[in-house]
Structure 1
Amino acid sequence: MNIIEIDNFSLKIKDKVLFDNVSLKIKEHSWLVLTGNIGSGKSTLLRTICKLNKEHYEGVITYKGKNIVDIPMQEHVKNIGYVMQHAINQFVMPTLEEEIIFALENLCLEPQIIDEKLDYALSITNTQEISTKHIHTLSGGERQRAAFAVALAMGSEVLILDEPFANVDKKTRNSLLTLLKDLNNQGVTIIVCDHEHHLYLNYADTFTYLSDGNLELITNPISKNSNVKLYNNTHSEQILRLENISIQQGNKELLNVDDFHIFKGITTLTGDNGTGKTTLLHAISQLKKYDGKIYFNEEKVKKSRKLYKKISTCLQDAFQQFISLMPREEISMQKDIWEHATLWQERLLKEFDLEKELDKSLYYYSGGQRKLIQLMCLLSQKTELLLLDEPFTHLDERACSFIMDWIEENKRLAGQSFIIVSHRLEPLNNRSDYHIEISNNTLHHIKGDNYGKENN
């Protein structure tokens, strides 16, 4: 039996055709993975199925044989659970516990049933410890787990996930994949949109590729090696030194670093969700309070306008980075850029079909397109050190490769250094010089065949 059917679906946003008479049948109890290039319309399709897209479309989408247009929204959200690309946008209440209770109360459930579903959702996603914390204090990965908990509490027959593991560490990702497989075995239909379709090879049964308004079946999905082999195995000059650093998160000590050196070049920073990766970047750029001293090129770091000409930060959420909602205005504000940056900007805009889109609001862009504009602006800027927090989120393989080519060019031509926080390691393979891991509340240079040399 088909639980969802898409028949002759066509959708055009302004002058751009996203879908042209697309048809798709999704079987009950199946697991479908949807992939495709940046801006191809993957998220738009998912939002349309969930009745969250206001754009007019042609064709019919049915749930269990009934046109979704005729299904009341309250009933539809119970049938189909949805985890958005940006988990934070899904929350209307300050904590996970309140969010789940609020969502279940909207279904007019009895208090006892609400309590049971709350306990179940928190337990199965291992989110009890973060359930009463304010959502804005959680890490990106913790927010993603929280969004999972809300969706699972609804007990939906279909679960739709839009890039669910973009900010999630490998351990949590594997745990959630196992959980999803158990739910799938129990009869839940799962639809996932992800650029990294190889993550689902042992879980999903159907893989589709969206391109030029059409869906194609992937008959032979390819597995990829997620290990990172480092390019450089020798130490260069030191760019940062951390001395007796202590960072608190509420009453909890997040990081405690006695004496640690970070070298010029490209450094990958990894660690489990909530270990303090983003917090460390914010401390380096003086956006987070800490005890101790941080030295940049042997000079003690102090919050000043001069510092931001030397160190810049790429935030996880591209929206938070922009001053203007119009990309052309954002680009025109740049003053001090690398000599080679103009050529790279032109290449990016042409290669990813963004030349004609610069006068449209950022709300028109897909997550990947916004990320490309954000990175384009930051990689053009003349700074000695660029801190990148999950720069590959929402990017396909082609875009990741392009961005890493640009990063390497900045390193080669201008001597720029980078610290890159990423749970997605493939783009950094044979590109990163060093690998630092946060574990047990401190920093470690990883030693071994696949990673950099030990910190001296």
Structure 2
Amino acid sequence: MIELQAVTFQQQEKMIFNHVTFAFPAHQLTLVTGDSGSGKSTLFRLIAGFAQLSYQGNILLNGENLATASMKQKAQAVGMVFQNPSQQFTMRTLRKELIFTLENIGLAPVDIQERMNHALALGETTDLADKAINQLSGGEKQRAALTVVLALDAPILLLDEPFASIDPESRVRFIQKLKQLRDQGKTILLSDHDWSGYHEVVDAVVEVTEGQLQFGSLDKLTVDTVFHLQQADTTPFFDFQKVQITRNQRLLVETTSQLQTGITTLTGANGGGKTSLLKAMVQLEKYHGNMFLQGKKIRKKRQLYQTMSLAVQDAAKQFVALTVQEELAFCNNQQPEILTQQQAALAYFNISKNQSLFHLSEGQKKIVQLISMLSLPLDFLLLDEPFAGLDQHACDYFVEWIQQQATQQDFLIVTHRLAPLSGVSQHHLVLAKQTLQVGEQQ
């Protein structure tokens, strides 16, 4: 059981948790929900105890207070997957990360190989074990982070948005694996803004709201949303001519095709090359062949970024300033209506313009990134997993903004979370078998 006793935590001047007393049931799979920035990630960090956050009250794990325990003791009691998996790794490859982790908890060398192989199989990452972690896709990094946690074999698992960048097929399999781990006696807390696939698996829902925790209704875990396209008259505007993208001598993409005006959703399996394709389109990754925007050959020139740009998957990697206000000013669009829209968005999400970007939650970072990128006066905007870490209200807000912009701007959106774009996107492409294919409505 995970028990909070009169826990109070304040970050800077903001009260995150106020005298919270609550118990999470043992040996159950609990879905933790709440708006972006409500404190879900902070709750997991407090329970895990890895970050040495200063709080009042007590947190008991199976009856023990681990506040003064060693990191080794904590790691043996709790395994945690961070919302941003890039923050989780120390070593160059997953295999080295697993060996390093298991050595640190004192596992005998003779047992490390067996534990590692079991975790790689369970996490479906055997093929990733010796690849450089910084070369993995976002979804592959999430699977790698989950593999490390599974190798620890801790009785309590804290999973913070573990499937945000994982393709739907893998997501279904991993949810079932969590069910199996629960049935084996694990206590699992999982946060996710996408509730699809949980309705037959989750034992309890806990809501984080206004600094408190409360049990929610399982009825909110509805069945999967059907993805359908909006019908519209469109014309080609972007051409791929004999484009090939390779990495480490492996062919990722090979296509001769066109993009149509409007909003296009791009899906595909993790590691299939979607992010590499987007980077190549904005000339940030090498490729063979030619690309044309409105009939003009694309070249790596400064003027290109006045026409098209890419919102990258990890919002923090996009930032060039320290505060929210400085970041939004950097977009260099000072039109009164844009400034008004930016201020309205910050007010809606309760984000101060003076806040440090690096004190924001991952969801709030994504919000600021999207405000900034959608403020740019571009013809074509590429968005890589824009809904990762966002609650439904935030998704609805930005989809409405995208729809407004789509009257004068084209979008290519890579996402595994299709529900926000259902009935909004005019086109669906799938990157499969190294080529772009027309996707089916679901």
Contact kept? 1:167, 1:393, Cα under 8 Å: yes
Q: Which of 374, 377, 384 is the matching residue for 1:389?
A: 384
Moved more, 421-430 or 122-131: 122-131
SS at structure 2 position matched to 1:199: coil
Q: Aligned to 1:388, what secondary structure does the other structure show?
A: strand
* 1:160-171 matches, cutoff 5 A: 160-171=158-169
8 Å CA contact retained: 1:44, 1:53: no
SS of 2:405's partner is: helix
Q: How many residues align?
A: 441
Provide the rounded CA distance (Å) in 1 between the counterparts of 2:44 and 2:55: 13
Distance in 2 separating the partners of 1:362 and 1:155: 34
Where does residue 376 of structure 1 map in the other structure? Answer: 371
- Is the deviation greater in 190-199 or in 146-155? 190-199
Task: Give how far 1:157 is off.
Answer: 0.5
2:415 corresponds to which residue? 422
After TM superposition, give the deviation of residue 91 of structure 1 in Å.
Answer: 0.3
Change (3 A) 1:318 1:291: same
Asked if 1:433 corresponds to 2:433, the answer is no
Query: TM-score, normalised on structure 2?
Result: 0.97
Q: Is residue 9–residue 60 contact of structure 1 (8 Å, CA) maintained in 2?
A: yes
The residue that corresponds to 2:31 in the other structure is 33
Structure 1 contact 248–290 (Cα < 8 Å) conserved: yes
What is the CA-CA distance between 1:338 and the residue it aligns to? 6.1
Alpha-carbon distance between aligned partners in 2 of 1:286 and 1:222, rounded to the nearest angstrom: 41
Deviation at 1:77, TM superposition (A): 0.8
Counterparts in 2 of 1:147 and 1:161: CA distance versus 1, 3 Å: same
Paired residue type of 2:3: E
What is the CA deviation profile of residues 352-387 of structure 1, one whole-angstrom value per residue up to 9, with x for unaligned ones?
A: 111xx2222212101111111111111000010000
Q: Deviations over 1:369-413 (max 9, x none)?
A: 11111111110000100000000011100000000111111112x
Please list, as runs of the form range in 1=range in 2, the aligned pairs for 1:259-270 lying within 5 A after superposition.
259-270=256-267
In the alignment, what sits opposite 1:287? 284
Q: Distance in 2 between matches of 1:438 and 1:237?
A: 21
**Alignment partners' CA distance in 1, 2:335 and 2:270:** 34
Note the alpha carbon deviations across 1:104-143, whole angstroms, 9 max, x for none.
0111221110011011111111211110000011111111
Q: What residue in structure 1 maps to residue 110 of structure 2? A: 112
Cα deviation for residue 340 of structure 1 reads 3.6
User: Percent identity over the alignment?
Assistant: 35
Residue 156 of structure 2 corresponds to 158
Q: How does 1:289-308 map to 2 (within 5 A)?
A: 289-308=286-305
Shift of 1:429: 1.0
Root-mean-square deviation over aligned CA pairs: 1.4
| Structure 1 residue 337: Cα displacement | 5.7
TM-score w.r.t. the length of structure 1 is 0.94
In the TM superposition, residue 71 of structure 1 has moved relative to its aligned partner by 2.7
Question: Relative to 1, partners in 2 of residues 1:405 and 1:22: Cα closer, same or farther, differing over 3 Å?
Answer: same
Are the aligned partners of 2:31 and 2:190 in contact in 1 as well (CA < 8 Å)? yes
User: Structure 1 residues 115-124 or 66-75, which shifts more?
Assistant: 66-75
Residues 222 and 103 of structure 1: is their aligned pair in 2 closer, same or farther, counting only changes over 3 Å? closer
